[in-house]
Amino acid sequence: MGWMRRDVVLGGLASLGNVAVQKPTFASASSYLSGTAVDNGVTFRSTNFAKIDKRWRRQVVKYFSSEPIGTVVVDTRHHFLYLIMENKTAIRYGVGVGREGFKWYGRATIDRKSLWPRWTPPPEMRERHPELPESVEGGSPKNPLGPRAMYLLRDGVDTGYRLHGTLEPGSIGRDASSGCIRMFNEDAIDLYQRCPIGTAVQVLPHIADQAESAAQMSQATPVE
């Protein structure tokens, strides 16, 4: 399967940018964080889910798709990531996606995974934001990848995009990144353990009838 332009649409100059780093644009950002948790020896701020709209919380939903079980499907328009499960269900996660000019669509695979990954801004991003450091160590409270990163490759070539955590939980449900798919840190940890190397990922503009309608969302089952 070749790397074809019609399969992956890259937006703007950030086609290789792997996360957006900006001054916080979401009011009362600290209100989205509450308490701390420890993961693999690293202490991090927990998401204050009491402040998060229920639609963005992790939950099991009805999902109809011809994609194999275990596939990750991202609906960028509605800001949901689905991990397809058995019996026409999926685990649905709220996500943040690429802002205008940084969106992309297509297929890839998770060919690399990292716990508390180091973040190195790509050259294009440092040109736009010269104040950025050359790198940020994993586990740093300033690392925008959070506790987990799942690296998206296509035919062995790094797309530059990742599924990862975030420093800005208020950005979930918004077009906010440079193309990467942001998740609540707790959700990034959850998805990481469910997706082995080789997991197929499909990023779509939107999903029409595979997922439940808005009227059915109230019947969704929370995932602890």
- Give the model confidence (pLDDT) of 91-107 as tens digits: 999 999 988 767 788 99
H or E segment and range at residue 192: helix 185-194
In this model, does residue 208 exceed pLDDT 60? no
H or E segment and range at residue 190: helix 185-194
Catalytic residue among 78, 79, 129, 164: 164
CA–CA gap between residue 87 and residue 182 (Å, rounded): 27
Q: What CATH superfamily is the domain 17-22+53-208?
A: L,D-transpeptidase catalytic domain-like (2.40.440.10)
164 is catalytic: yes
Strands, DSSP E only, in 89-166? 89-98, 106-115, 148-154, 157-164
pLDDT tens-digit map of 40-74: 999 999 999 999 999 999 999 999 999 999 999 99
**Mean confidence (pLDDT) of the chain:** 82
CA–CA gap between residue 171 and residue 218 (Å, rounded): 23
pLDDT tens-digit map of 11-33: 332 333 344 444 434 335 678 99
Domain ranges in the chain are: 17-22+53-208
CA–CA gap between residue 71 and residue 130 (Å, rounded): 37
Strand 72-75 and strand 199-204: the pairing is parallel
Greater pLDDT, 192 or 2: 192
pLDDT tens-digit map of 129-178: 888 888 899 999 999 999 999 999 999 999 989 999 999 999 999 998 87
Count of Cβ atoms closer than 10 Å to residue 26 Cβ: 14
pLDDT tens-digit map of 179-197: 899 999 999 999 999 999 9
How confident is the model at residue 91, as a pLDDT?
98
Q: Check if the beta carbon of residue 149 is closer than 8 Å to that of residue 113.
A: yes
Catalytic residue among 129, 180, 195, 206: 180
195 is catalytic: no
Reference 116, options 141, 97, 133; nearest CA is 141
Count CA within 13 A, CB hemisphere, residue 52. 24
Strand 221-222 and strand 59-62: the pairing is antiparallel
CA–CA gap between residue 8 and residue 186 (Å, rounded): 28
